[in-house]
Chains A and B, each alone.
Chain A
Amino acid sequence: QKEVEQNSGPLSVPEGAIASLNCTYSDRVSQSFFWYRQYSGKSPELIMSIYSNGDKEDGRFTAQLNKASQYVSLLIRDSQPSDSATYLCAVNGIQGAQKLVFGQGTRLTINP
């Protein structure tokens, strides 16, 4: 089992709709969770962090964490073509190690 798993996509969403990106992780004691956005040809950029169960909202972005199910998601409301990118889920604290383990990333395309 991979330590951090994401559906690689591509995920296509019409403009204005909600994009839902999902991530599961293997280690129940993992501590903190992050979403990075990577545009084609660019480096990853941190867009959300979440540390406790529940929802965390920042503008059009909402991160959701369910530690019991070992599941973290990112919702993007009112999707824009500029949201088209690869979204990387990263988990810190797997097996107690203070380092990020990244998923493969989900490629998201917002269709005008």
Chain B
Amino acid sequence: ETGVTQTPRHLVMGMTNKKSLKCEQHLGHNAMYWYKQSAKKPLELMFVYSLEERVENNSVPSRFSPECPNSSHLFLHLHTLQPEDSALYLCASSHSSAVAGEQYFGPGTRLTVT
């Protein structure tokens, strides 16, 4: 595997379900990010992790819960989501959060909440 991988690529869940999104980076980077991309809206930063420590929580509802067990893996745990949470969820990584600009994105998880 190379670059940034994400699983699953597609997910349909009901509002009462609990699911998790997984991201893995194979680039030796120290920072990882979760973004949300909705139609006709800019990419929204959700969370930033630097060396497994959360450094940014961009006013995200508590129904989204991130976890970063090591610098290569990032999870986004989902529970009691709303239909408006349907979007493309993108994971990205960079060398460090101090040099946040050159980010490498995974393919994304297309989430549909029914």
Contacts and interface: CB of A to CB of B under 8 A. Distances in A.
Interface of A: 4, 8, 32-34, 42-46, 49, 88, 90, 92, 98-105
The 3 closest A-B pairs by CB, nearest first: A43-B105, A102-B43, A92-B101
By size class, the interface of chain B is 20 to 34
Contacts, number: 49
Contacts of A46: 102-104
Interface string B90-114: 1000000111111111111000000
The majority secondary structure among interface residues of chain A is strand
Contacts of B108: 43
B60 to A, nearest CB: 14
Name which of B40, B100, B104 has the most chain A CB atoms within 10 A of its CB: B100
Given A43-B90, A98-B98, A105 B42 contact: yes
Contact of B105 (A45, A92, A101, A104): A45
B100 A100 contact: yes
Contact of B106 (A43, A90, A101, A102): A43
Interface string B34-55: 0000001111010010000000
A98 B97 contact: yes
A104 B107 contact: no
26 contacts: A32-B101, A33-B101, A42-B107, A43-B90, A43-B107, A44-B43, A44-B90, A46-B103, A46-B104, A49-B101, A49-B102, A88-B42, A92-B100, A98-B97, A98-B98, A98-B100, A99-B48, A100-B43, A100-B45, A100-B100, A100-B101, A101-B42, A101-B45, A102-B42, A104-B40, A104-B41
